[in-house]
Amino acid sequence: EGLNPQEYTGIKIKITEFADEAKKILDENNFDTEKNNIFLVAATLRPETMYGQTCCFVSPKIDYGLFHVGNGDYYITTERAFKNMSYQKLTPTRGDYKATLIINGKSLIGSKIKAPLAVYDELYILPMETVLASKGTGVVTCVPSDSPDDFITTKDLSNKPEYYNINKDWVKSQLVPIVQTEKYGDKCAEYLVNELKIQSPKDALQLAQAKELAYKEGYYNGTMMVGKYKGEKVEEAKPKVKADLVASGDAFVYNE
């Protein structure tokens, strides 16, 4: 964590059907998944791209907390993030960040989810090994059209489903174009991953470069291709999509 504060949009992604391993942990703890709503909270800098979500990533190495936020609603985030939230008036009690239970990322993989604004109706939780526990909520929603990291991770997952112990059908291979750009077309991330010859999610240096280029071009020279603000510049649409998501209760502003 540096000196510059970062403002994220926390996207609430509802888990609609738990993977067997997660279900077992919840059952053992007498947790009623029928009566309660459980949301993964994904931290994003690009709320305007949420139309293009194709899955949600968790790290198989991270232990997440399940935290009650009132009225039978629960969030899944790192304890670190929920602690921060508890000092930002985003939770019922200031400074209270005791988890109802701890659930490992690995056990969540294969759960079905419903993500706000996503063009795809039903998506899955998938693994991303490069998710940092020290940033955001430790949950990353996947937008492979506009995020080089998401694109290359998706490619890796669909090439090696056995290695990752996932079902190939859980990986959506069809990208949803969201932002039209002058330089890199309507699938910015794919273009840059190819251009910079990025081979793996571990090519950190080139990915950082691709991320920077995609982010700048999308923000300053991008035009929305879908949704309520179709045809508007990304720079103008971004705060509006964000405000709409907050107003509908599908997201909140989270700082760190």
Contact residues for ligand A2H, defined by CB under 6 A = 6, 43-46, 49, 131-132, 135-136, 138, 140-141, 143, 146-147, 150, 211, 215
Give the residue carrying structure tokens 């964590």: 1
| Spatial distance between the Cα atoms of 179 and 187, rounded to a whole number of angstroms | 8
Q: Which is nearer to ligand A2H, 86 or 147 (CB)?
A: 147
State the nearest-atom distance from the C-beta of 22 to ligand A2H, in Å.
20
Q: Which is nearer to ligand A2H, 36 or 196 (CB)?
A: 196
State the nearest-atom distance from the C-beta of 123 to ligand A2H, in Å.
13
| Spatial distance between the Cα atoms of 132 and 140, rounded to a whole number of angstroms | 10
Rg (CA), the chain: 18
Q: Hey, what amino acid is at 79?
A: E
Q: Which is nearer to ligand A2H, 107 or 137 (CB)?
A: 137
Q: Which is nearer to ligand A2H, 26 or 152 (CB)?
A: 152
Question: How many residues are present in the chain?
Answer: 256
Residue 174 contacts residue 55 (beta carbons within 8 Å) = no
Q: Which is nearer to ligand A2H, 49 or 107 (CB)?
A: 49
| Spatial distance between the Cα atoms of 4 and 10, rounded to a whole number of angstroms | 18
State the nearest-atom distance from the C-beta of 23 to ligand A2H, in Å.
25
Measure Cα distances from 215 to 2, 109, 115, 192, 210 in Å: 20, 28, 22, 11, 8
From start to end of the chain, where are the E strands?
Answer: 7-17, 37-44, 55-58, 63-70, 73-77, 101-104, 112-114, 123-127, 139-142, 179-181, 222-224, 251-255
| Closest residue to bound ligand A2H by CB | 136
State the nearest-atom distance from the C-beta of 193 to ligand A2H, in Å.
12
Q: Which is nearer to ligand A2H, 109 or 131 (CB)?
A: 131
State the nearest-atom distance from the C-beta of 238 to ligand A2H, in Å.
11
State the nearest-atom distance from the C-beta of 138 to ligand A2H, in Å.
5
What three-state secondary structure class fits 87? coil
